[in-house]
Structure 1
Amino acid sequence: MVPDDGPLLGAVPLVEDDSRWAAATANYLTVVGHGGVELRRGWHEVERGRWDAQAATFTLTWTDATRRPLVLTVPEAVSRGEKAVAVDVAPFARALRQGVESALVHAVTGQLPAGRRVTVSVRRDSDGRLYTASDLSTDDAAALDAADGAALEELIRRARDGVGLPTG
């Protein structure tokens, strides 16, 4: 059911009956359920991922600040016939970390004149292309005054310059 995105690096069940899974390949996070693929996102779209062992959840935040975090709740075990098989989250957690880290090429953080801290990053998409992103939503970036806008442009220039991309 997982698209042919390369070798499976890690997967975790999301329900005890083994019918819904989150799968990690080198380039994508895919959630698959009864009806097929429910979500497929490149690692470059993931800002960060966090595992909460107590709640048994992975929480993923996106580079697009307008998108709500994705919370993946992992059962302790899955049913396989008469048996319950314990879930090992370690391979998925490793793949999640590797995916997010491999997409992030370079980042710079600075403070805008109005006081807001902003991070601008250069990321690699699933096709290998480099692009620049910031942790400001499009609406927030558009609403900046002239001084903050100029400071943001300088952060973008520094991030791009840091990896040899054109800055003009």
Structure 2
Amino acid sequence: MSTESDNTKLAWQGVVPTGDANSPHIELSDSRVLVSGRFALILIDDDHVVDSGMWYEIQNARWNGEKQELRVTWVDPSRTPLTLKSSDSSMRPFMEDLSEKVNRTQVVVRNVTAPSGTVITGQIRRREDGELFSVLSAGGPLDDEGIAVAHSFERQLRESVGLE
């Protein structure tokens, strides 16, 4: 006899690539499933993928146990963060797996502070094909002087891994 959970699992297993059928996953409060695949985080609703992001596209993922909420922010600041609710009891192993996969894509992560006090975070990330790329984010506004610091900082990061 199969349970509702088994049926949900069977449904999403047919949607993901074959190699991801046994990947860590959590059931969300709205009955969707979030899968930590080999190459991507995959959000599934019924029999289709609703959203996904390669590991190198994820800036960070934070679990708030009090709110039972997972928030995934993207490297691309124009992409709306995913905010998902789950009461799944397996959050710890899922989050450890997710964090490990995101962290593997981060080659270098450094911060510098602009003259205005805004912290600029620079990263060198690795795509699944091994290609490196740089990402900058600022924790606040940057004036012209701050933008110049950011450009110089990014150039130094890229040079440190042979991208320039």
TM-score exceeds 0.5: yes
76, 82, 86: which one aligns with 1:64: 76
Task: Indicate yes or no: 2:43 matched with 1:31.
Answer: yes
Distance 1:5 1:50 in 2: 28
Cα pair 1:103 1:125 within 8 Å, conserved: yes
Aligned to 1:3: 16
Distance 2:79 2:107 in 1: 22
Distance 1:3 1:112 in 2: 43
130, 133, 153: which one aligns with 2:132: 130
- Name the structure with the higher helix share: 2
RMSD: 2.3
Aligned to 1:101: 103
Distance 1:6 1:127 in 2: 17
Distance 2:135 2:42 in 1: 22
Structure 1, 53-62 or 128-137: larger mean CA deviation: 128-137
Aligned to 2:162: 164
Aligned to 1:13: 27
Distance 2:55 2:97 in 1: 10
Q: What is the TM-score when the length of structure 2 is the normalising length? A: 0.78
Distance 1:114 1:5 in 2: 50
Cα pair 1:28 1:126 within 8 Å, conserved: no
Tell me the percent identity.
Answer: 26
Specify every segment of 5 or more residues in structure 1 that has no aligned partner in the other structure, as ranges: 77-86
Specify every segment of 5 or more residues in structure 2 that has no aligned partner in the other structure, as ranges: 1-13
What number of residue pairs does the alignment pair up? Answer: 149
Residue 135 of structure 1 aligns to a residue in which SS? strand
Distance 1:6 1:163 in 2: 32
Distance 1:149 1:91 in 2: 40
Q: CA deviation at 1:15?
A: 3.3
| RCO higher in structure (CA 8 A, sep ≥6) | 1
Distance 2:137 2:18 in 1: 27
Task: Indicate yes or no: 2:42 matched with 1:44.
Answer: no
Letter of the 1:95 partner, please give it.
Answer: D
Q: What is the TM-score when the length of structure 1 is the normalising length? A: 0.77
Letter of the 2:28 partner, please give it.
Answer: L
